[in-house]
Amino acid sequence: MKVHGALMWLASIRKEAITKGIAKASRRFTGRARAARRAAIACVSALALMMVTLPHSEAVSSGADVTEPADAVTPRRLRLISSEQYLNTLNYVFGIDLRIDPRFPPLTRTDGLLENGAAVGGVTDSQLEQYQRTASTVAARVVSPERRNFLFPCKPVSETKADRKCAEKFLSESGRYLYRRPMTKVEVKEVVDTASTAADRLKDFYTGLSIALEGMLLDPEVLFITERLEPDPKRPGHQRLDAYSLASRLSFFLWNAGPDDQLLQAAESGDIQTEIGRARVVDMMLASPRLEAGMRAFFDDMLNFDDFNTLAKDPTVYPSFTGVVVTDAREQTLRTVIDQLITKRKDYRDLYTTRQTFISPSLAVLYGLPSPPDWAPYEFPADSSRSGLLTQISFLAVHSHPGRSSPTLRGKAVREILLCQPVPRPPPNVDFSIVDDPKSTLHTARERLEAHRQNPVCAGCHKITDPMGLALEKFDGAGEYRETEKGAPIDASGSLDGKEYKDVLGLAQALHDHPALPACLVKRVYAYSTGGGKSPQEQPMLDYLNGRFAAEGYRVPDLLRTITLSAAFSDVYDAGEQPKKVPPAPMKAASVAAPQNVASVSK
């Protein structure tokens, strides 16, 4: 099914859904309205499944190429908006803290990222009910008496009947941000008709607006990030994102929200489709404080921090590991990431050796430090075993068991999350009795794993995970430092792909120097920016990005700029079709120099 035709069909379904919404309001919700909306969203989910390009396996690129591929393109994708993106957009549109907690469908982690799963996930009936409850709550709060004076650009002639002029002004202005483009005349008439009919029937102008706004919030084009194409005048035979789709791709990538007024104006004028115009837009976005929200969302996804949502420790074993620690551990790492990579623009690899971080009162207990009154910058001394993200509570606690540490889980996380090297799943019916036996005479994890590896079926995978995880064994399952386990001294030596080390500081340096570390970040950022896993024809683009990343000192803001100004970011093809091999005239990402203070974010 062609995307344009599918969306036209969805529009007709949505019209029925909104019409039924009027009856729902007067009869306290009818089943037919929900069924209509359910059909609209479910069919877009099916369309997303048809459009998705499955990820492919790959080897880590050397990153030697610094010339942008001439025929680089990415697949056109349709993605489900995340709950955080939805909330960020609403808060921008309505300029207030709506104080809602939208629980959208959980996404499936695909090729290392939840955001990739947004292009392949379906929507169940119960999840559709969550969408409807959220839309109803938001619409009611927006039109509530305490918010009308500062949210509405006009006042109705009468609050007990329809006012088409005022309704059109509010709904069209709001719709421009919700749809991430100006509404068509047909769309505006449709929602104004809905608001007016409901207002007259229910004798309440604001209730009518609430019903129309709720219908808009449930529109598939609001809940899904759709991408529209147009011929690329610079590359005959190629297609590119239209101006509004490009603005959305930029905004959701860099800010984790829909486009703001300035970005939409650049799309309306066509400025965003020129080299100089796009560079100006990108530099504005990189210099905005909103970049912090976008990069927090990316690293939260890349580092698998959704695991914090279910993280729990045995209170008898780790009494200091409280719910506040869970929240603060996640926050500590994200603050460190933003401070090092965005505010200070440091080398990405240094994130794994830096001693600079932030400490909260609850974390100070586990780190064995004096408690500050609130969050405060902190630098571990040179003789400390804390160095880089691997030694922060977030990494150590998440990749452990509820009652003990786990060298295997920690080593697996280093391989899969930081180096993009998948570790095979364990075979069925593995005997874990040696590892789990609390009465074992084997005191340390190294001894227990050595016995476990006597099974040749297990030895292969453990050889690529345990050497890194054992280097972290001087930190228990809650991330607290220790020298011994069950009275026996802990040996923290190991190796990472031929690089030998004697302790965790050596592991941190070996990881810093590993060529797969920056290559993995490039792969993740590129997939995140374009909304899906890598397709085979994108490998040359990754080679180019790896080369540029290295040449620019592994600075993340520069990587973001290179990606967003590349032809591959905006030139697309329909999934299921092969991209055309036509000699192009590619946009040169480096043609406009970045200002020196770009991406400077104040704390």
Q: Give alpha helix (H) positions in 154-290.
A: 164-178, 185-202, 205-217, 220-223, 243-254, 261-269, 275-287
Residues 6+ apart with CB under 8 A from 305: 299, 330, 333, 334, 394, 398
CA 89/CA 178 separation, integer angstroms: 8
pLDDT (tens digit per residue) in 264-281: 999 999 999 999 999 999
- 149 backbone dihedrals φ, ψ, rounded to 5°: -65, -35
- Identify which has the larger pLDDT, 400 or 56: 400
Select, from the ranges 8-22, 234-248, 262-276, the one with the highest average predicted confidence (pLDDT): 262-276
- Residue 44 pLDDT exceeds 70: no
- Residue 316 pLDDT exceeds 50: yes
Answer yes or no: are the C-beta atoms of 518 and 63 closer than 8 Å. Answer: yes
10 Å CB burial of residue 12 (0-12, 13-18, 19+) is exposed
Q: Provide the pLDDT for residue 428.
A: 65
Mean pLDDT throughout 515-537? Answer: 88
Q: Provide the pLDDT for residue 268.
A: 98
- Residue 120 pLDDT exceeds 90: no
Least confident of 399-403, 525-529, 530-534: 530-534
Residues 6+ apart with CB under 8 A from 8: none
CA 544/CA 550 separation, integer angstroms: 10
Least confident of 93-102, 183-192, 205-214, 451-460: 451-460
> Among 9, 20, 11, which residue's Cα sits nearest to residue 212?
20
CA 144/CA 373 separation, integer angstroms: 38
- Residue 45 pLDDT exceeds 60: no
3-state SS record for 267-315: HHHCHHHCHHHHHHHHHHHHHCCCHHHHHHHHHHHHCCHHHHHHCCCCC
Task: Map tokens 């084997």 to a residue.
Answer: 442
CA 486/CA 29 separation, integer angstroms: 62
**Mean pLDDT for the chain?**
83
- 231 backbone dihedrals φ, ψ, rounded to 5°: -60, 140
- Residue 499 pLDDT exceeds 90: yes
Least confident of 37-46, 136-145, 568-577: 37-46
Residue extents of the structural domains in the chain: 81-225, 319-513
Beta-ladder partners of 501: 494
Local confidence band at 586 (pLDDT 50, 70, 90 cut-offs)? very low
pLDDT (tens digit per residue) in 587-601: 443 334 443 433 333
Task: Give 108's DSSP letter.
Answer: P
The residue count of the chain comes to: 603
Q: Provide the pLDDT for residue 439.
A: 60
10 Å CB burial of residue 434 (0-12, 13-18, 19+) is middle
Least confident of 344-353, 463-472, 509-518: 463-472
Q: Provide the pLDDT for residue 65.
A: 53
Q: What is the pTM of this model?
A: 0.85
Beta-ladder partners of 225: 79
CA 163/CA 148 separation, integer angstroms: 15
pLDDT (tens digit per residue) in 177-201: 999 999 999 999 999 999 999 999 9
The region, left, alpha or beta by phi > 0 then psi within -120 to 50, assigned to residue 106 is beta
Local confidence band at 23 (pLDDT 50, 70, 90 cut-offs)? low
Side-chain-side CA neighbours of residue 164 (13 Å):
7
Answer yes or no: are the C-beta atoms of 235 and 217 closer than 8 Å. Answer: no
Mean pLDDT throughout 551-559? Answer: 98
